[in-house]
Amino acid sequence: MKRGLCAARAALLVVTGLLLGTGVAAAQTDLAKVLVGRWQGVLQFKKTNTDLTLRITSVKQEDGKWIADGRFGPNPVKIDIDTSGSKPSLRWTGATGIVYDLSLLDDRNLAGTATLTTGQAGQFERERAVKLEKKQ
């Protein structure tokens, strides 16, 4: 009886471990499938818009956190991915110090804000609207 109980517990632990491992792999595949690619859009100002291109080349989990590698314009960027909410959000800092914080609206759209550094903002609002659409 005791042996059977121990064997059942061991089997349960093995199955649970396999399911959890599969879940992480599936989550990584899903995030990569959605995020990897070229995203284009605009940083919106009151009088003008600036074209933006974000190219995400890889998505992986490191030390329990999701990160992506890519290029924002011509510059390489590391992107922090927060999966704690209902939709993943991406955060990175551009070469000029602007902090981008965007949420995945669906498989093809990211939207959020760009927070300008004090010198760039001047007397105006520091946050600007950003919208990106996946192109490939």
Res. 123 pLDDT band, cuts 50 70 90:
low
Q: Give me the percent of the chain exceeding a pLDDT of 70.
A: 73
Domains of the chain, by residue range, sit at 2-134
State the fold for domain 2-134. Answer: Lipocalin (2.40.128)
Tell me whether residue 63 is exposed, middle or buried, using C-beta atoms within 10 angstroms of its C-beta: 0 to 12, 13 to 18, 19 or more: exposed
> Quick one: average pLDDT of 40-60?
92
pLDDT of the residue at 91: 98
pLDDT of the residue at 66: 97
pLDDT of the residue at 49: 86
pLDDT of the residue at 11: 46
Q: What is the mean pLDDT of the chain?
A: 81
Half-sphere exposure of 131 (CA within 13 A, CB side): 6
Res. 9 pLDDT band, cuts 50 70 90:
low
> Quick one: average pLDDT of 61-87?
95
CA angle 81, 70, 39 (to 5 degrees): 85
**Residue 54 pLDDT exceeds 60:** yes
